Amino acid sequence: MDKKVYSVAGKEVKTITLNDEVFAHEISEGSIYNAIKNELANLRVGTASTKTRTEVNGAKTKPWAQKGTGRARSGRRQSPVWVGGGIAFGPRPRDYSYVLPRKVKQLAMKSILSLKAATEGFKVVENFTVATGKTKDLMKILTAVVKADEKTVLILKDDDADLKRAARNIPWLSFLTYNRLRAHDLFYTKNLIIMEDAAKNLGEFYTVKEGA
């Protein structure tokens, strides 16, 4: 697959050949669904909790005698049928995370990248950085390539502290490194910007790993 490469000024400068195994792969909707579901499950804190009858404070004695009062028998005020008593079958702290098979996750990333590569919001840009770390300098580059205020993901070729610092104040921009992608961010973004070296690295990363 051939794609145009844009400069930081938004002009077409050359053409790059992307790996068809990654950017023109057959779409697997099931793997995309499972990858996003897995990421959201792993983000869940799972701290919701209610008290059972054994954890509610109060006297442990019977509120009245078993017989002779005319009332229904009752064992203790912590019973779930009493106001202020314990909760029956309420939520308890739990871990929602689980491990998704590596090949399923790889297939999901290939499918999402292939979906995005077929849209107008997919752009390959020459490698750049923001040495000043200033948001306004990064905004000049972004607005030359995509529309401002549209949800955008930028895939980096490596960790760039200056670029990340410049992007902190842009609410509609998120950034990922080519070897640490997130299916949820990629799938729901409007625009996907990939640095030239990151595009090459993606082709190698997901091709080599699949046969491992």
Residues 91 and 122 in one domain: no
CA angle 123, 127, 132 (to 5 degrees): 115
Residues 144 and 89 in one domain: no
How much is the pLDDT for 193?
Answer: 95
Low-confidence ranges of the chain (pLDDT < 70): 208-212
Nearest to 124 by CA among 193, 23, 204, 181: 193
How much is the pLDDT for 160?
Answer: 86
Residues 78 and 170 in one domain: no
Which string of DSSP letters, residue by residue, matches 145-202? HS-TTS-EEEEESS--HHHHHHHTT-TTEEEEETTB--HHHHHH-SEEEEEHHHHHHH
CATH number at 197 reads 3.40.1370.10
Residues 68 and 162 in one domain: no
Number of domains in the chain: 2
What does the chain come to in residues?
A: 212
Distance from C-alpha of 40 to C-alpha of 46, rounded to nearest angstrom = 12
How much is the pLDDT for 158?
Answer: 87
Residues 162 and 205 in one domain: yes
Distance from C-alpha of 12 to C-alpha of 59, rounded to nearest angstrom = 78
How much is the pLDDT for 211?
Answer: 44
Provide the domain limits for residue 62: 47-95
Residues 19 and 31 in one domain: yes
pTM listed for this prediction: 0.84
Residues 130 and 54 in one domain: no
Distance from C-alpha of 162 to C-alpha of 129, rounded to nearest angstrom = 7
Instruction: Quote the distance between the C-alpha of residue 67 and its chain's center.
Output: 60
Residues 77 and 107 in one domain: no
Residues 38 and 129 in one domain: yes
How much is the pLDDT for 26?
Answer: 95
